[in-house]
Amino acid sequence: MSDSTILVIQYLLGISILGTVYFLGRLLFSFWFYTIDEHIFLGFGKKLFGFKYKGVEVSVGFFIPLPWLAKLYAVVDGEKHKLGLPWEFHETPIWKRLIATFGGMIASLFIGVLIFVVLSYLTKDTYYSRAHTIDMGIHPGEFGKEVGFKSGDKVIKLNGEEYERFDDLISPHVINSNRANYTILRGTDTLEITFDGSGLDHGYRSVFELNYPFEVGMVPEYTNAAIAGLEKGDKIIEIDNSPVAGLPPFSEILEEKSLDTAKLTINRSGEVLELDVLVDEDGKIGFFINRLIEPESVQRSVLQACFHGTKEAFSIIYVNVRALRIMFVGDVDPRKNVNGPISIAKIYGGKDGIDWIRFLRITGLFLMITLFYNLLPIPKAAIMEVIPLIYEFFSKRAMSAAAFRKVRLVPFVLIIGLMVFVVIQDIMMLF
């Protein structure tokens, strides 16, 4: 099976899970709180089978669990009509209609957190300790260089205190906080670097990475590395006569030599060799790496998995809130941080078949993102359906369907206006 086929399968399966969880959550809460029509039809075509639940007749046709194809209708006198929204069932108390409105979000939250809790239990807690971090040192990315980090710096304290693991240094809560303070050892000098962060622009790698040592792992056939003669177990000690201290600086030099030839000095079982290798347009030569320092790992208890998984799930919402704020104030270019279906599919990976742990983790991530974006004032978001309930609560009158359509149109107009503004800005920059 080709890589592209695996990507498509994972993408369709992933969004099917997203759509099904949200769809069923919304539907079940509507059943439970009596905010649904007396007869509903799921899917396309003719009725294949049916059943009754909570006094509601349910007919099922050809149902496709994809967000844009999952259809649900109300059936009145044998004809399919638009399904009523929870806020439109005025005989039901407002609080029940509110919960039914958020039914899909509640289901997404529950399944998303559950996925992260299960993964936290199934996978070991793997990390590089403070001792590892000080031993290997760090290599700064673009943002890290701007604020003063240098390759080989050893971080000894975070915000004036000793940290437990490397991940503590690059967590979103630290990188994007109003003040992140690092105490570093550079040679024999102790320095402090402080920034108030927008490291989220390019992710944690824009701050710094661990400068871990490595050797050549598997070398696939027909790659530039294989053609040049690189073999598994080789240790790269120099590139273009510059010493290789770790993988991040080595990768950085390769990126700078895109579509050029690099001279590698390697140690192969004690023998020093020189190889000329062509670097591709992505700054790669085509081999897998083996890290020479293994991280520490511990098995989490059920309680630890619950805590860690829940924290990881909600950190996704936190990161998206920060990202949205940074995009609106102009610190991040939205064009570099908004992905389409192809880019999203690539996130799943697929070069070595389906990695189910990775698949579940990414699916859980997208479930939490679905929850977050349904809280934003954008068209079709669940939060927009709260407006008629608020109006009814204060005015003691029901909002008409026509008025709701106009209200729903407002964010759409704002989004179009924002897009036009961005395009005009881009055009003006050409002159």
Q: What is the pLDDT at residue 328?
A: 53
Q: What is the pLDDT at residue 92?
A: 94
Q: What is the pLDDT at residue 199?
A: 46
Binning pLDDT at 50, 70 and 90, where does residue 40 land?
very high
- Nearest CA among 296, 285, 298 for reference residue 258: 285
Q: What percent of the chain has a predicted confidence (pLDDT) above 70?
A: 86
383 Cβ partners below 8 Å, 6+ apart? Answer: 374, 375, 376, 377
| Domain residue limits, the chain | 97-124+300-431, 130-210, 214-292
- Nearest CA among 391, 256, 235, 375 for reference residue 317: 375
Q: For the chain, what is the radius of gyration of the CA atoms?
A: 27
Q: What is the pLDDT at residue 341?
A: 47
Looking at residue 356, the DSSP 8-state letter turns out to be H
> Would you say residue 230 has pLDDT above 90?
yes
Out of 141-145, 153-157, 231-235, 345-349, which region has the weakest mean confidence (pLDDT)?
Answer: 345-349
Note whether 228 and 205 are within 8 A (CB). Answer: no
Q: What percent of the chain has a predicted confidence (pLDDT) above 90?
A: 55
Binning pLDDT at 50, 70 and 90, where does residue 335 land?
very low
- Answering whether pTM is above 0.75, one says no
Kind and range of the H or E run holding 395? helix 386-395
What is the CATH class of 130-210? mainly beta
Q: What is the pLDDT at residue 430?
A: 55
Binning pLDDT at 50, 70 and 90, where does residue 419 land?
low
End-to-end CA distance of the chain: 49
Q: How many CA atoms lie within 13 A of 149 on its CB side?
A: 27
- Collapsing DSSP to helix, strand or coil, 147 comes out as helix
Note whether 212 and 206 are within 8 A (CB). Answer: no
Do 130-210 and 214-292 have matching folds? Answer: yes
Give CA angle at 383 (377, 387), nearest 5°: 95
On whether the 214-292 domain is CATH 2.60.40.3080, my answer is no
pLDDT tens digits along 60-87 = 999 888 777 888 899 998 899 998 999 9
Q: Which amino acid is at 393?
A: F
Note whether 182 and 188 are within 8 A (CB). Answer: no
Segment 355-365 shows an average pLDDT of 86
Looking at residue 399, the DSSP 8-state letter turns out to be P
Q: What is the pLDDT at residue 44?
A: 87
pLDDT tens digits along 312-324 = 898 888 776 766 6
Kind and range of the H or E run holding 275? strand 271-278
Query: Do β-strands 180-186 and 154-158 pair in parallel, antiparallel, or remain unpaired?
Result: antiparallel
Query: Do β-strands 56-62 and 39-42 pair in parallel, antiparallel, or remain unpaired?
Result: parallel
Mean pLDDT score of the chain: 85
Out of 200-204, 232-236, 247-251, which region has the weakest mean confidence (pLDDT)?
Answer: 200-204
By the 10 Å C-beta count (0-12 exposed, 13-18 middle, 19+ buried), 215 is classed as: middle
Question: What is the dihedral sign for C-alpha 140, 143, 144, 148?
Answer: positive
pLDDT tens digits along 361-408 = 889 988 998 888 888 888 788 999 999 999 999 999 999 989 998 888
